[in-house]
Amino acid sequence: MRKPLYILGLNFAYHELSACLVKDGKLLAAVEEERFSRIKRGKKSLVGNPDTLPLKSIEYCLKVGGITLNKIDYIGLSFLPEDRLKNIGTDKYFNKGDWGSEEGEKLFYKKIKRIPMMLNKIAGQDISKKIHWIPHHICHASSAFFVSPFKKSAIISIDGIGEFSSTWMGIGQDNKIRVIKEVNYPNSVGFLWEKISKYLGFTEYDSSKVMGLAAYGNPDRFYKQFQTLVSLLPNGEFLINNSAMRFRIDDFSQLESLFGVRKINTPNEIGKDQEDISAGLQKITNDVILHLAEFIQQKTISGNLCLAGGVALNCVSNQMLMNSSLFRNIYVQPAANDAGTALGAAYYIWNQMLGGKRSFVMEHAYWGPEYTDKEIREALDRAGLKYEKAKNLVHDVAARLAEGNIIGWFQGRSEWGPRALGNRSLLADPRSQRMKNLLNIRIKKREPFRPFAPSVLREQVQNWFSISPDCRSISTEFMEINFDVSKDKHGKIPAVTHKDNTSRAQVVNKNTNPLYHKLITSFLKQTGVPLVLNTSFNDNEPIVCSPEDAIKTFMRTKMDHLAIGEYLVGKEKGPYSRLRKHTKKQHMSIGHHQSSR
């Protein structure tokens, strides 16, 4: 028999450190380092730390494969260090020793070139001939197309920056991709969002918060100002005015002058100005995305589109694209951010370099660690918790949700990517007017303008959301696309309906997550509603990974129950019982209504 061929893909250059393992073209494991280290995104993006490897992720992938590092055939690194040096001398706005400066870029280059030596040390021998550096956007594009269901597709990769480019447009066919157009720094939609996020009192990593805030604003009030920052050019190109943006320094004077609004330092200061600026940012972003999509559709004459890069996580723009009729089908890989480049590096080697046939489609996101019944039980015992083995877990959990309880749901393999999709989730009743506030007060501590998402049965989605019957996008299962809540359902699911009457819904397929599908089906039977509120199982931390993580978050917060494996854990003492009774009473009263690099 032929020896199996193993490929390890790694991402480490900036953030979202990750690893994946592919065997003969089939994915075995994919995970982000933050799930193990409990450090968000794995690390901050700094010129001095590109040599921080996702060691725990590598260890996990090798364990799943039953293989050691020195037995891996190919290692794909999702970065091309030499191209990063193109940033030297291209920007007059930078801090000495940091991004864009000669000293900073050379330090980054020196550090990242240490990676082969570090991998050799882990392997215990020289494996440098197995290592391949692959451009960042090529990896993004590969991560979307090579695991998509399409034989041929247009591809757009768009983020802050790769090595020097911010946007990559191309085409994929069979087991090959090729570039058609690239847009270079400083023309970066990703950096536009990072800088405006900081201008609005957030961090550069808070684009999702700004996207949520945009629904409250008037998109036209500052639209002309944004048009002076972003110019659309022929042939799919666009320009961003870096004299005003000054991406690589914390100078907001030009933006304050342009918008007539001072920079704020905390989300607590958010008012109408910030809401309207957010809305204008979303509108100009939609313009750019549509501009790119029209160009690449004309160039490829394809009815399919694959999206990757951090900007591809913008579910508002994705909804706009889906409704534009430019493409029949859209695929957004669940880890569209930099984590996904590890996947792309592995599949670029398998498909493009080795000519391997495409035999794998990423139809679900459950590629991380799972734990045995024994491991779960031992973790509960160590924590000194009382628990019971549920006779009918899905019925019992659904009943408690219908009573107004907040439940931690920990099942199966953990999700790949930034969304909790029914294996590491916090669940609640979407019908409750007050559930959003209760979740924020008791667990999530999020800004009040941020929406919560629903998980809805595939068989029922068209009864509750405006979605075409012809829509077959797998990405609807990855919580990557907004949908309008059907008009006759307005007011019936207030906990998951955003200000603009949209929801970032996850469609739940019984074939890819049968247990979660059964749970929501049980909730439907008990309440008449085929969806639950689903948010990530965490509390200002990475999504929980292990039973220990779940138990710590359960004990630290005011959730009511933990459904972990086959076991159900409750809280019987302390202030939680009073809150739980209060929540049930409330429910009865409403139940009749149904980094700038």
| pTM of the shown model | 0.94
Instruction: Say what the pLDDT of residue 575 is.
Output: 33
pLDDT in tens, 13-61: 999 999 999 999 999 999 999 999 999 999 999 999 999 999 999 999 9
CB of 516 within 8 A of CB of 352? no
Q: Helix and strand tally (H, E) in the chain?
A: 21, 23
What tokens were used for 512?
């890819």
pLDDT in tens, 166-204: 999 999 999 999 999 999 999 999 999 999 999 999 999
Residue with the two structure tokens 């391997």: 356
Among 465, 397, 460, 404, residue whose Cα is nearest residue 433: 404
Instruction: Say what the pLDDT of residue 572 is.
Output: 65
Pairing of strands 18-23, 304-308: unpaired
DSSP assignment string, 100-115: TSHHHHHHHHHHHTTH
Residue with the two structure tokens 């550096």: 133
pLDDT in tens, 542-563: 999 999 999 999 999 999 999 9
187: buried, middle or exposed (CB in 10 Å: 19+, 13-18, 0-12)?
Answer: buried
The phi, psi pair for 289, rounded to 5°, reads -60, -45
The phi, psi pair for 33, rounded to 5°, reads -60, -30
Among 225, 231, 223, residue whose Cα is nearest residue 189: 231
What tokens were used for 104?
């900073």
Domains and CATH numbers, the chain: 6-147+335-353 (3.30.420.40), 182-332 (3.30.420.40), 373-593 (3.90.870.20)
What mean pLDDT comes out for the span 313-331?
A: 95
Instruction: Say what the pLDDT of residue 467 is.
Output: 86
pLDDT for 85 beyond 70: yes
Q: Which residues of 496-532 are buried (b: 16+ CB within 10 A; e: fewer)?
A: bbbeeebbbbbbbbeebbeebbbbbbbbbeebebbbb
pLDDT for 3 beyond 80: yes
135: buried, middle or exposed (CB in 10 Å: 19+, 13-18, 0-12)?
Answer: buried
Pairing of strands 407-410, 424-428: antiparallel
Residue with the two structure tokens 């193109």: 86
* Banded pLDDT at 577 (limits 50, 70, 90): very low
Instruction: Say what the pLDDT of residue 595 is.
Output: 57
pLDDT in tens, 429-467: 999 999 999 999 999 989 999 999 999 999 999 999 998
Instruction: Say what the pLDDT of residue 588 is.
Output: 29
